[in-house]
Structure 1
Amino acid sequence: MGSGNGIYSEGEFNLDAKWLVDPNQLLVGPKIGEGAHAKVYKGQYKNQTVAIKVIHRGETPEEIAKREARFAREVAMLSRVQHKNLVKFIGACKVPVKAVMVIVTELLMGGTLRRYLLDLRPSCLDMRVAVGFALDIARAMECLHSHGIIHRDLKPENLILTADHKTVKLADFGLAREESLTEMMTAETGTYRWMAPELYSTVTLRHGEKKHYNHKVDAYSFAIVLWELIHNKLPFEGMSNLQAAYAAAFKNVRPNAENLPEDLGLIVTSCWREDPNTRPNFSEIIQMLLHYLSTISTPEPVIPPRIYASENTVFTPESPGTSSLMAARHDSGETPTSNIEDNSVGFFSCFRHCY
Structure 2
Amino acid sequence: MESGTGFFALEECRLDPKWLIDPELLFVGPKIGEGAHAEVYEGKYKNQNVAVKVMHKGDSQEDVAKREARYMREVAMLARGQHKNLVKFIGACKEPMVVVTELLLGGSLRKYLINMRPRSLEPRVAVGFALDIARAMECLHSHGIIHRDLKPALVSFPENLLLTADQRTVKLVDLGLAREETLTEMMTAETGTYRWMAPELYSTVTLRHGEKKHYNHKVDVYSFAIVLWELLHNRLPFEGMSNLQAAYAVAFKNVRPSADDLPEELASILTSCWKEDPNSRPNFSQIVQMLLHYLSTLSPPEHVNPSCAYSSENVVLPPESPGTSSLMAARDEIGDTTTDENKWRGFFFCFSQCF
TM-score (norm 2): 0.84
Superposition deviation, residue 178 in structure 1:
0.8
**Paired residue secondary structure (2:97):** strand
Q: Give the counterpart of 1:349 among 330, 346, 353.
A: 353
Give the structure 2 partner of residue 142 of structure 1.
138
Distance change in 2, residues 1:295/1:49 (3 Å) = same
Distance 2:222 2:245 in 1: 17
Distance 2:278 2:21 in 1: 40
Within a 5 Å distance, the mapping from 1:301-340 to structure 2 comes to: 301=306, 303=308, 304=310, 305=312, 306-307=315-316, 330-331=320-321
Q: Which has the higher contact order (CA 8 A, sep 6+)?
A: 1
Superposition deviation, residue 247 in structure 1:
0.7
**Paired residue secondary structure (2:39):** strand
Distance change in 2, residues 1:126/1:177 (3 Å) = same
Give the structure 2 partner of residue 155 of structure 1.
151
Contact (CA 8 Å) 1:187, 1:202: kept in 2 or not? Answer: no
Distance change in 2, residues 1:203/1:52 (3 Å) = farther
> How many pairs does the alignment contain?
319
Contact (CA 8 Å) 1:29, 1:340: kept in 2 or not? Answer: no
Distance change in 2, residues 1:79/1:266 (3 Å) = same
Superposition deviation, residue 154 in structure 1:
0.7
Give the structure 2 partner of residue 279 of structure 1.
281
Give the gaps of 5 or more residues in structure 2: 1-9, 153-158, 328-341
Distance change in 2, residues 1:31/1:345 (3 Å) = closer
Superposition deviation, residue 165 in structure 1:
0.7
The Cα RMSD (Å) is: 2.5
Contact (CA 8 Å) 2:120, 2:233: kept in 1 or not? Answer: yes
**Paired residue secondary structure (1:298):** coil
Give the structure 1 partner of residue 243 of structure 2.
241
Superposition deviation, residue 346 in structure 1:
2.2
Distance change in 2, residues 1:183/1:58 (3 Å) = same
Distance 1:234 1:243 in 2: 14
Q: Give the counterpart of 1:216 among 211, 215, 218.
A: 218
Give the gaps of 5 or more residues in structure 1: 1-9, 310-328
Q: What code does the residue aligned with 2:353 have?
A: S
Deviations 1:233-272 (A, max 9, x none): 0001111111111110011111111101100000011100
Give the structure 2 partner of residue 7 of structure 1.
none
Give the structure 1 partner of residue 55 of structure 2.
55
Distance change in 2, residues 1:113/1:258 (3 Å) = same
Identity of aligned residues (%): 73
Q: What code does the residue aligned with 1:184 have?
A: M
Distance 2:36 2:13 in 1: 22
Superposition deviation, residue 348 in structure 1:
2.2
Q: Give the counterpart of 1:261 among 263, 266, 273.
A: 263
Distance 1:335 1:262 in 2: 44
Distance 1:86 1:183 in 2: 27
Q: Give the counterpart of 1:182 among 184, 187, 207.
A: 184
**Paired residue secondary structure (1:14):** coil
Give the structure 2 partner of residue 167 of structure 1.
169
Distance 2:83 2:132 in 1: 10
| Runs of 4+ deviating beyond 6 Å | 333-337
Distance 1:182 1:60 in 2: 29
Distance change in 2, residues 1:182/1:308 (3 Å) = same
Contact (CA 8 Å) 1:43, 1:340: kept in 2 or not? Answer: no
**Paired residue secondary structure (2:120):** coil
After alignment, is 17-26 or 219-228 more displaced?
Answer: 17-26
Q: What code does the residue aligned with 1:348 have?
A: S
Distance change in 2, residues 1:85/1:261 (3 Å) = same
